Amino acid sequence: MPSILPNFEYDIFISYRHNDNKSGWVTEFVNNLREELAATIKEPISIYFDSNPHDGLLETHNVDKSLEGKLKAVIFLPIVSHTYCDPKSFAWTNEFLVFSRLAKSDLVGLDVRLSNKNVASRILPIQIHDLDNKDRILFEKESGGPLRPIDFIFKSQGVNRPLTAQDSRSDNLNRTFYRDQLNKTANAIEQIIDSLVVRKETTPETKTYETSSINSLHQPKNLWHEILRRNVLRAAFTYAVVGLLLHQFLIFLTPILKLEERFVDLITLIVLIGFPVAILFAWFYEVSPHGIIRTNSPEAASNPFPSYKKKPMTNGPLVSILLLTLILQYFYFIYIKPPGIQQIDKNGNQVISIAVLPFENRSGDVNDKYIGDGITDDIINRLTIISKLKVTNWGSSQKYQGNMLPLSDIAKSLEVKILLTGSVELHGNQIAVRAQLIDETNTYLWGDTFQRTTENIMAIQTEIAQKIADQLKIQLNDLEKARLQLKATNNPTAYDYYLRGRSLYYQYRPTANDSAIQQFKMAIASDPEYARAWAGLGDAYSQMNMRFNRNISWLDSSLEAGRRAIKLDSNLSDAYKALANAHSYKTHYDKAFPLLQKAVELNPSNERAVGNLGTNYLLRGDLPWH
């Protein structure tokens, strides 16, 4: 006989320990309750009662197939005895706890508001023995509220046993009478069922309640609670750790098995694509003794497996082992495995080749792009101070801005062992510069985020250069340390004007060059000792004559700006290049030549100085012809 309410199998589920029915008390109670309910409630009431239930000591880890679905009852009557509240009990573990979890997540809920506005629990305890404090606390913890049982206890001097129909009220210290308690039980059941029938017939939610599928009983009330219950976070963490282990293992095998880099990239892509699939699988499915089942199915409600068995490879020890293996793997790659990144230059010195790719602008405003470009250029200039680094020039790296090529392909194209990539994000006066170091095999070596205000932006390039030297185990000499610590300016406003000026200068358009001159002048006004701003001003003055055919007097101004830049910083490659350009455009090649040699000596990555030096060789007739 089906339940009065749709989507429930039974109206009442009777749960008890086998030992408590050896005298036949539970069987007699159920029979008497049936008669009382028939006399109390007009509709026939269905009761599930297993006359020969499993004992927990015999079958703790196997859920009886017959129970699946039967726990989808409106009311749960546990016969609470000395032994019922026991984690080893089949009735406690596979009936009480499962019903409690089901009821908390179904559309009705564990607590029901009665017609008289009071609230009653769908767990209606029938207590046949006094409980000790430990069992009472356990019951209340799992039921989610205080123990409010209907008392079927007979007590006299030294006696604490189930109440029977033959017991006299006067002999019972509790002053309870079996027939009255039975009637209380039927009335409590009637109140709960009546309130649910009224809600089904009169409330808007009835339609959902009536037409929802069997799985609707398991829809989560709280998403975060459901994520934890389904063990999705641990499954995601395990997948990520295994994916990183696989990635590092493939990199380790690449030179041994002579694997192609695109094979490693393909496997990595498959792992990345599989991540959301794994998350969805963890959300919708779990493992049970009967195989893979849906997490919101009736079978899942009675699944006896602990959470780590429901989602394989998520138990604590295994996750710890995987995590330890990952840490040891990274330790090996960073501290034990020879980096294999050093090369020999033409002078026989060991160097490490590196390219700095243009830092991506993530500020959301295209007008802020000049900041990322300026920081990239400054990092290149800082890295050229380190003698054991061979730094690719800005022009060669710039062509890969926004390029979607794999980093390993870019490294190969630039003929470098190391790539520095990054991004710049500006919000108000807050700036975040993210940098990461990748080797030619696409192996992550180092990464960090530098959160600063715009007033402290000038120190970031030095910090990044020092971090790179540390990660590549390069010992800096005293001169290199001192030069790295020197700031071009301590004035953030002057620095911002300078970056804007350089960005405008490199557009090579008359109006942009006019604006660049104004930006350089404002940088100098903010900091008259700013050598790089003077050098930029010298370049912009020269361009007025050379590129835009303005009056030759602009070159005189360029000479003055270049000399001022060298005077302020005699180690600034751009200063010598700016002064040399002015001399070249005046056809003073003999004066320009040593200046350009000095510029290239100070910064071999200064591509414009190198290009101009080559032009001067040609104009002097010093280039060999074959």
Beta-carbon contacts of 63 under 8 Å, excluding residues fewer than 6 positions away, are 94, 289, 302, 303, 304
User: Contact at 8 Å (CB) between 485 and 462?
Assistant: yes
Q: CA nearest 398: which of 357, 367, 368, 360?
A: 357
Cα–Cα distance measured from residue 38 to residue 45, given in angstroms and rounded to the nearest whole number: 8
- pLDDT, residue 293, reads 84
The structure tokens listed for 207 are: 């339609």
Cα–Cα distance measured from residue 134 to residue 398, given in angstroms and rounded to the nearest whole number: 71
Is pLDDT of 602 > 90? no
What average pLDDT does range 588-605 have in this prediction?
A: 87
Q: Which residue did the predictor score with more confidence, 350 or 272?
A: 272
Is pLDDT of 338 > 70? no
- pLDDT, residue 68, reads 60
User: Contact at 8 Å (CB) between 128 and 25?
Assistant: yes
The structure tokens listed for 466 are: 């020092």
At the second CATH level, the architecture of 492-620 is: Alpha Horseshoe (1.25)
| Minimum mean pLDDT range among 21-30, 313-322, 445-454 | 313-322
The structure tokens listed for 237 are: 């963490």
Edge-to-edge strands of the sheet including 10-15?
47-48, 10-15, 73-80, 126-127, 150-151
- pLDDT, residue 613, reads 80
User: Contact at 8 Å (CB) between 459 and 487?
Assistant: yes
In eight-state DSSP terms, residue 24 is: S
- pLDDT, residue 349, reads 64
Q: CA nearest 605: which of 582, 624, 579, 577?
A: 577
What average pLDDT does range 172-197 have in this prediction?
A: 91
User: Contact at 8 Å (CB) between 142 and 103?
Assistant: no
The burial class, CB within 10 Å (0-12 / 13-18 / 19+), for 99 is: buried
Q: CA nearest 264: which of 242, 274, 276, 249?
A: 249
User: Contact at 8 Å (CB) between 499 and 371?
Assistant: yes
- pLDDT, residue 216, reads 40
| Minimum mean pLDDT range among 130-139, 157-166, 334-343, 484-493 | 334-343
Cα–Cα distance measured from residue 92 to residue 139, given in angstroms and rounded to the nearest whole number: 10
What average pLDDT does range 218-243 have in this prediction?
A: 76
Is pLDDT of 281 > 80? yes
Instruction: Give residue-wise pLDDT tens across range 391-441.
Output: 888 888 888 887 778 888 888 888 899 999 999 998 888 999 999 999 888
| 355-391+418-484: in CATH 3.40.50.10070 | yes
Q: How does DSSP assign 224-275, residue by residue?
A: HHHHHHTTHHHHHHHHHHHHHHHHHHHHHHHHHHT--HHHHHHHHHHHHHHH
CATH superfamily, with its number, for domain 10-217: Toll/interleukin-1 receptor homology (TIR) domain (3.40.50.10140)
Is pLDDT of 165 > 60? yes
Is pLDDT of 209 > 60? no
Is pLDDT of 59 > 50? no
CATH 1.25.40.10 occupies which residues in the chain? 492-620
Q: How confident is the model at residue 267 (pLDDT cuts 50, 70, 90)?
A: confident
CATH 3.40.50.10070 occupies which residues in the chain? 355-391+418-484
Is pLDDT of 123 > 80? yes
Is pLDDT of 243 > 60? yes
CATH 3.40.50.10140 occupies which residues in the chain? 10-217
